[in-house]
Amino acid sequence: MLDQNDTLDRFPTQTLDEVRENVRSGEHVHIKKIVLPFDANGLSKMRALSSTEFLIFQNRNYVARLQEPSCLPLSDICQTLLAKYAKQSASLRTLSAQIHISTLDLRKKPITPIARFILNIREEVVRVILMKTEYEMLLIRATINEAFYNNYIHDRYPDDELYEKADAVICDALILQEKHLRDCANILNIPLQ
């Protein structure tokens, strides 16, 4: 098993095709995403490992790291699906930037010590919400890619139903992300355009 302080450098790398050959030769192999529990440092730890780190799990042990596929459709399924939502994603980035700029403006205003204390608490709440939102998106991407990779190594080619499920998950996640951003704006009393 892995813990948060474990290093992945000790594992050799294998390509998807090498893993698929192991499956074809009768090995019981699965690809698993790395899941770290969310905490104040969870996102930075996950980024340090990279959002697309997958380990090859064989006979109840991790045996290797997955070398990421370099060609579509398996290089990043989510990136292809997210292209459909480019406009919505751009809108969310604009909303996030607006919250950030407004927060900086709030800090420039002269306010009483108690008001500054309240603002600090609100900013901390917003920081955690934004981190959790980004963490959830990383997790969703990893989960979808994990499903597609396991289909591939077991020679089960993705069908329309799998793409539709992945598409629905991403759509729901973007809607939830917008809600989180609007909640952040409300916490900081930032009027949104």
Residue 69: cis peptide before it, omega within 30 degrees of 0: no
Look up the pTM and report it.
0.69
Poorest-confidence range of 63-77, 89-103, 145-159?
Answer: 63-77
Question: pLDDT tens, 34-79?
Answer: 665 555 555 555 444 444 567 887 777 778 888 766 555 565 666 7
* 158-174 average pLDDT score: 82
Q: Is residue 84's pLDDT more than 50?
A: yes
